[in-house]
A and B are shown apart, each in its own frame.
Chain A
Amino acid sequence: GDSVTQMEGPVTLSEEAFLTINCTYTATGYPSLFWYVQYPGEGLQLLLKATKADDKGSNKGFEATYRKETTSFHLEKGSVQVSDSAVYFCALRSAYNQGGKLIFGQGTELSVKP
């Protein structure tokens, strides 16, 4: 079945460091891919998404490119801030179930130190 694998956390960075959180997926066809962010004690917020191969999603300085050849959707940010500290979830939605459920990775906790 479809699945998402993220790099394990926690990831600890200094402010202004470069961030990469790896995400790979297994799915048939061309699923839609998402990154969600969860701040402590809150629900999930959509950070960015991509719906077809080679699409780049971007928001708030974060970027991720849909790579079909490597089945990856790695999250990057050039300069992190303390306020970026949160848990980041990679997720996919099957190409064959557009209104259906999301499949989440295990989440990666990011801690940014001043």
Chain B
Amino acid sequence: GAVVSQHPSWVICKSGTSVKIECRSLDFQATTMFWYRQFPKQSLMLMATSNEGSKATYEQGVEKDKFLINHASLTLSTLTVTSAHPEDSSFYICSARLDYEQYFGPGTRLTVT
């Protein structure tokens, strides 16, 4: 139980385009999901907390207009990287909260060329 999926698992896009990443809780409902960013050989940096039916809460220093988060249902949150640039290339990981625990997705590798 408590499985979280992400789609796509990897994506390559051109600079200036937008890309959407989906995070789904497959066998439970999650009112709260979290989006993290991870650079090579580094720890996870929390970007934002996504709450179903309300606006996401962004961490300090994260551009909310660049990283759009939508949590429209209890099983789906999306992260859209708008006008992507090479510096946005990273590994993006989501997690979904069930009771007091977080369950992580497998991650999405974004490469911006």
Does residue A44 face the partner (Cβ distance < 8 Å to B)?
yes
Question: Roughly how many angstroms separate A71 CA and B105 CA in the complex, as a whole number?
Answer: 29
Task: Determine the distance from Cα of A46 to Cα of B4 in the docked complex, in whole angstroms.
Answer: 13
Q: Do A42 and B107 touch across chains, with their CB atoms under 8 A apart?
A: yes
Complex alpha-carbon distance, A106 and B43, angstroms: 5
Hey, which chain A residues are within 8 Å of B32, CB to CB?
Answer: 99
**Do the beta carbons of B43 and A89 come within 8 Å of each other?**
yes
Asked if B46 CB lies within 8 Å of chain A CBs, one says yes
In the bound complex, do residue B41 and residue A109 qualify as a contact, i.e. CB atoms below 8 Å apart? yes
Asked whether A102 lies within 8 Å of B102 as measured between CB atoms, the reply is yes
Number of interface residues of A (CB under 8 A): 20
Closest CB in chain B relative to A59 CB, distance in Å:
14
Give the docked Cα–Cα distance between A114 and B78 (Å): 41
Chain B interface residue count, Cβ-Cβ cutoff 8 angstroms: 22
B97, A99: Cβ atoms closer than 8 Å = yes
Q: Say yes or no: is B104 at the interface (Cβ < 8 Å to chain A).
A: yes
A107-B107 in contact (CB<8A) = no
B67 contacts A by Cβ under 8 Å: no
Contacts of B104 in A (CB 8 A): 36, 43-45
Closest to A32 in B: B100
Q: Is the CB of A42 within 8 A of B46?
A: no
Kindly list 9 other residue pairs between chains A and B, CB separation below 8 angstroms, not including A41-B107, A89-B44, A99-B97: A42-B106, A43-B4, A44-B95, A46-B103, A100-B49, A101-B49, A106-B43, A107-B43, A109-B41
B residues contacting A by CB (< 8 A) are: 4, 6, 32, 34, 41-44, 46, 49, 93, 95, 97, 100-107, 109
Can you list 17 A-B pairs, Cβ within 8 angstroms, ordered by A? Answer: A32-B100, A41-B107, A43-B4, A43-B104, A43-B106, A44-B93, A45-B104, A46-B101, A93-B100, A99-B32, A99-B100, A101-B46, A102-B34, A104-B43, A106-B42, A107-B41, A107-B42
